[in-house]
A = this chain, B = another copy of it.
Amino acid sequence: MLGKFYIMGVGPGDPKLLTIKAYEILQKAAVVAIPYSKQEKDSVAFNIVKEYVPPSCQILSLLMPMTRNQELLKKAWQEAAAQVAAPLKKGLDVVFITIGDPAIYSTGMYIYQELKTLVSELRCETVPGITSFTASAASLNLPLALGTEPLLVVPHVVSKERLKGILAQYPNVVLLKVTANFPEIVTGLEEMGLLNKAVFVSRCGQAGEFISFDLKSLDPRSLDYLSLVIIRKEGVR
């Protein structure tokens, strides 16, 4: 019988934020598939789960280039899917681990799409994980949204104008992947009078967790890739 493909969220950093379900699946895993990039020294996702992975488990490293070139990405997903398909066809379960949650901006979903074209009658199970933004809010004892308020999550805000448009419309906004254009974000918040309603969190739950209410003081060049900004017009303290 075909092995089962798991797309598993391992949370933002703290190994204790894995679910019991994820923990139990990892304990029985034959193969754990880990996305990594050449630039990374280490896999964040693997660091989170390594204490739970049995020594007998095979580690499958899937190279994911750090690029927005769609052709290169597509090729990488196809190659990753082929690497995953081989053990599945041998009847081995493969657990693809992803930081945070698989439904929220995870490469796992692209690999799954490619895998469906390679493996007929693929069995797949997604295991949800704690997202970076709910974990960050928890670190601050802060609600992201209350009552009838909407919550908007936006990765890669590319311009100050777009940010200001969003902030004018919504009371609660989470900005993900903020490092590329951090100065624009700070200026946008300042121009809206919302700098004191924003908080910066990076590496939530990991050894290097960092929280700042003073976004203007941060050096954009020194920010970690795994960073986010929560804006809550009701206040963030």
Contacts and interface: CB of A to CB of B under 8 A. Distances in A.
A143 to B, nearest CB: 4
How many copies of this chain? 2
Interface string A77-118: 000000000000000000000000111111001101000000
Contacts of A133: 103
Sorting the interface of chain A by its residue count into under 10, 10 to 19, 20 to 34 or 35 or more gives: 35 or more
A154 B124 CA distance: 29
Contacts of A9: 134, 138
A104 B143 CA distance: 6
Contact of A146 (B15, B105, B140, B146): B105
A17 B143 contact: no
Interface string A4-16: 0001010100111
Interface string A137-157: 111111111111111111110
A19 interface: yes
Contacts of A135: 128
A62 interface: no
Interface of A: 7, 9, 11, 14-21, 23-24, 101-106, 109-110, 112, 124-131, 133-135, 137-156
